[in-house]
Chain A
Amino acid sequence: MPCNEALQLQAYFDGELDAAAALGVERHLESCADCAALLADLEHARKLVRASAAYHRADDGLRQRIVDQIGRERSDGRKSVLWFAPDHRFLSGLGSGAAATALAAVIVYFLAAPPAPNAPLTTDLVNAHLRSLMSDHLYDVASSDRHTVKPWFAGHTDVSPPAPDFSAQGFRLVGGRADYVDGRRAAVTVYRHGRHVINVFAWAADAESPPQAATRNGYHVRCWNGGDLVFCAVSDTSESELQDLMHLIRNTKA
């Protein structure tokens, strides 16, 4: 049975220990044959991988295609889609029960009512918020760790907002998802605040600025600029709570 210091030894081998801990391991090695053998195995495996395993390099064709592709990227990454596109997830999320029926009634109201003048973006934000609550689709990635959510954005959406967790202040990060708002692909950071869900939509700033604050049927929307991004927080929680979350996000170093 190998010495139970094995993981510590591995950490030493990988240069992860501070000087004091490394010294401790080296002293231990002087009298532990199992660890000395394990260290030799680790060294052998490393030499083998670095000398003989394939390290694949991008060929010139791929490199050129990539450079060309970047060259073709437009500064405006907008995509035109229906502003409300019901899909099977939305329908299957209706389920049964009073809450679902009540929310369904609200959705129908929004579908029937014409968009408020000069506020298609606000309408769309609230609709997107409701869609997320109705369906099983509140988040694509579930995590309270910004180090999981933020890179997920980088792989799935056009922008990668910071996604910090503020559990200590009452705003718990629950995950992230990709969504569409008014023709733009948005990265959405999802928070829970007590019984309330807050969706924070983010997209690259462009010619259209959303109104700083708005309300649609009891749902509050608060928008702000941060760096190159526009942020819009939507929730049925109070306006002052939304403002608190806005300040927390704005004051975070990305």
Chain B
Amino acid sequence: MDEKRRRFEAQALPHLDAAYNLARWLVRPPLEADDIVQEAILRAFRAFDSLRGEDVKPWLLSIVRNCFLTAAAKSKDKLHVPIPVDEQIGADPALVAGEIDPESALIEAERGHALNAVIASLPQEFRETLILREMEDLSYREIADITGVPIGTVMSRLARARALLKERCHFAVEARTHAVQ
């Protein structure tokens, strides 16, 4: 048991941030990413001996996603709630502390915040595909395995996600410009 725990901590826990990031991008209230990740790690630990030569990261992320889907189905959560793109700018701690040039910090925070809102507004299947590709650098095959669809579907979802990102980010910039004026 100690041996298994040591191996798990060495091989699986390095991917904890990746697991948490995916959970944060998938869940909506009242679900909590912390709970999903804890449940996922527990299941991963119990199933750890069945992992033979597979890459740990995609396997772990697959479990995170399944835990999210189970929890979401239980709470009958709506998976496609869009978040309004024209949100107010939140206070950037570094900006507030006066540590960096206010104007460029504002532009950066504004750009980052609007981008996060756009990504969050994407339908789940596009959002998760984009995150697994651009943030986790996973291959089409790995994404297909995690999301349970053929590679062709991964490719078209990725193309749609990127097209929506472009469309909505331009819109976000315009909306904020109009709001400022």
Give chain A's interface residues, CB within 8 Å of chain B. 6-7, 10-11, 14, 16, 41-42, 44-46, 48-50, 52-58, 62-63, 65-67, 69-71, 73-75, 77, 143, 145, 147-148, 151-162, 204, 227-229, 253-254
Contacts and interface: CB of A to CB of B under 8 A. Distances in A.
Interface string B67-79: 1011000000000
A49 B148 contact: no
Nearest to A62: B34
Given A57-B21, A156-B70, A228-B49, A6 B63 contact: no
14 contacts: A10-B158, A49-B134, A49-B135, A50-B135, A53-B115, A58-B20, A67-B13, A70-B8, A70-B45, A154-B43, A154-B44, A156-B70, A161-B50, A227-B49
Interface in B124-156: 130, 133-135, 139-140, 144-146, 148, 155-156
A75 B50 contact: no
A64 to B, nearest CB: 11
Name B's interface SS.
helix
Contacts of B69: 155
A77 B21 contact: no
A253 to B, nearest CB: 8
Contacts, number: 155
B46 A155 contact: no
Contacts of B135: 49-50, 53, 55
Nearest to A9: B159
A134 to B, nearest CB: 23
Interface of B: 1, 5, 8-9, 13, 16-17, 19-21, 24-25, 33-34, 37-38, 40-47, 49-52, 59, 62-63, 65-67, 69-70, 108, 111-112, 115-116, 119, 130, 133-135, 139-140, 144-146, 148, 155-156, 158-159, 162, 165-166, 169
A57 B20 contact: yes
A228 B165 CA distance: 46
B21 A75 contact: no
A20 to B, nearest CB: 18
Given A11-B155, A48-B165, A151-B146, 19 more contacts: A10-B162, A41-B166, A48-B115, A49-B119, A49-B134, A52-B111, A53-B112, A54-B24, A54-B116, A56-B20, A58-B20, A66-B13, A74-B1, A151-B63, A154-B63, A155-B67, A156-B66, A158-B43, A159-B47
Contact of A70 (B5, B25, B130, B156): B5
Contacts of A227: 49-50
Contacts of B34: 62
Given A11-B155, A151-B63, A160-B47, A41 B162 contact: yes
A49 to B, nearest CB: 5
